[in-house]
């Protein structure tokens, strides 16, 4: 599907969310085009999405907001560029990638702007057990084991310090305690770290 059409579908979704009339923002030409592609239909004088149009719009909005979460949470991109980056990425996300991102982020429900992310299949599966696969040390329980997936910090010295102690992606760790200071066990070394640094360390749970 053309990117332009995908963009329009996304806009329609937003207008619907805000309970506004689709005609407010779209040109007659755009509406015509979508009707011809079977994504929009006119019923009793109001324009609504067809079933396939609804599915497409939902997918695009989901991709866009997941992308925003990814940029915001993982890559720490802030501000206006967030939306722009997400706009480019949303068109390129395949189904399995979408689920991987969603899982990585812990099946988030809201985008950084506070709008709802339409849930995907992977989310429905996890609704009951909202257990994230990747989480920060802060969210782990005492005695849990995990493998470091990534360390998220813009502070060079902090990154080097952690890495030089062997706390690198792939390292297996055990969380010994969280208070008063985090203590983790890495090989035969125990390392104490404060909560701010602990929040930078993302770990993938290793099942017992």
Partner 1 sequence: MECHSADIKSISTNKTILLVGNPNVGKSVIFSLLTGKYATVSNYPGTTVEISHGIGEIDGEDMTIIDTPGTNSLLPTSEDERITRDLLLNQGDVIVQVGDAKNLKRTLMLTLQLVELGKPMVLVLNIFDEAEKIGMKIDIEKLSTILGIKVIRTVAIKKVGIEELITAISRAKKPEIRLRFTKEVERYLSEATRYVDRFCALSFLRGDETILDYITQKYGEGVAKLIKEKLKLDPLISQYIQREIAEKARKITSLVVKRSLKSITYMELFSRMTIRISTGIPILLLVLYLTYLFVGKFGAGVLVDFIENVIFNEYLNPFLKDLIITYLPIPLLQELFVGEFGIITLALTYAIAIIFPIVTTFFIAFSIMEDSGYLPRLAMLLDRVFKKVGLSGKAVLPMVLGLGCDTMATITTRTLETKRERIIATTLLALGVPCSAQLGVLLAILVPIGPKALFSVFGFVFLQMVIVGVLASKILPGDRPDFILELPPLRIPRLKNILYKVYFRLKWYIIEVIPLFILGTLILFTLDKTGLLLKLQNVSRPLVEGLLFLPPETTNIFIMGFLRRDYGAAGLYSMASEGLLTINQIIVGAVVITLFVPCIANLLVIIKERGGKTAAAIVLFVFTYAFLAGGVLTRLLTLIP
Tokens representing 9 are 């579908």
As measured in angstroms, the least distance from the Cβ of 54 to partner 1 is 40
Closest contact distance (angstroms) between CB of 151 and partner 1 is 8
Residue 146: strand, helix, or coil: strand
> Hey, which residues between 151 and 180 contact partner 1 (CB under 8 A)?
154-166, 168-171, 176-177, 179-180
Q: How far is the CB of 157 from partner 1 (least distance, A)?
A: 5
Q: Which is nearer to partner 1, 110 or 163 (CB)?
A: 163
Separation of alpha carbons 3 and 5, rounded Å: 5
Instruction: Kindly give the interhelix angle for 28-36 and 3-17, rounded to the nearest 10 degrees.
Output: 110
Judged by CB under 8 A, which of 188, 204, 205, 206 binds partner 1? Answer: 188
Start-to-end CA span in the chain (Å)? 45
Q: How many chain residues interact with partner 1 (CB under 8 A)?
A: 33
Q: Is 196 in the site for partner 1 (CB under 8 A)?
A: yes
Distances (CA, A) of 51 to 55, 56, 58: 6, 9, 11
Site map for partner 1, 65-104, x if CB under 8 A? Answer: ----------------------------------------
State the minimum distance, in angstroms, from the CB of residue 196 to partner 1: 7
Instruction: Write phi, then psi, for 105 (nearest 5 degrees).
Output: -85, -5
Taking the complex as a whole, the smallest distance from the CB of residue 31 to partner 1 amounts, in Å, to: 45
**Listed residue (46, 44, 64, 62) closest to 54, CA to CA:** 62
The dihedral of CA 94, 97, 101, 103: what is its sign?
A: positive
Question: Contact positions toward partner 1, by CB under 8 A?
Answer: 154-166, 168-171, 176-177, 179-181, 183, 187-194, 196-197
């Amino acid at each position: 599907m053309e990117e332009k059409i995908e963009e329009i579908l996304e806009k329609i979704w937003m207008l619907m969310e805000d309970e506004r009339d689709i005609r407010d923002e779209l040109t007659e030409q755009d509406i015509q085009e979508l009707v011809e592609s079977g994504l929009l239909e006119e019923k009793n004088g109001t324009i609504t999405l067809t079933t396939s149009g609804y599915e497409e719009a939902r997918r695009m909005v989901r991709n866009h907001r997941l992308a925003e979460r990814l940029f915001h949470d993982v890559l720490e991109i802030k501000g206006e560029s967030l939306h722009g980056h997400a706009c480019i990425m949303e068109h390129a996300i395949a189904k399995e990638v979408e689920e991987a991102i969603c899982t990585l982020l812990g099946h988030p429900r809201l985008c950084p702007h506070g709008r709802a992310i339409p849930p995907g299949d992977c989310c429905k599966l996890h609704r009951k057990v909202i257990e994230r696969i990747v989480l920060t040390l802060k969210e782990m329980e005492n005695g849990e084991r995990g493998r470091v997936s990534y360390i998220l910090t813009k502070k060079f010295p902090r990154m080097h310090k952690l890495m030089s102690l062997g706390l690198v992606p792939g390292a297996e760790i055990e969380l010994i305690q969280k208070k008063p200071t985090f203590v983790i066990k890495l090989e035969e070394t125990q390392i104490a770290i404060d909560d701010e640094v602990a929040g930078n360390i993302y770990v993938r749970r290793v099942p017992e």
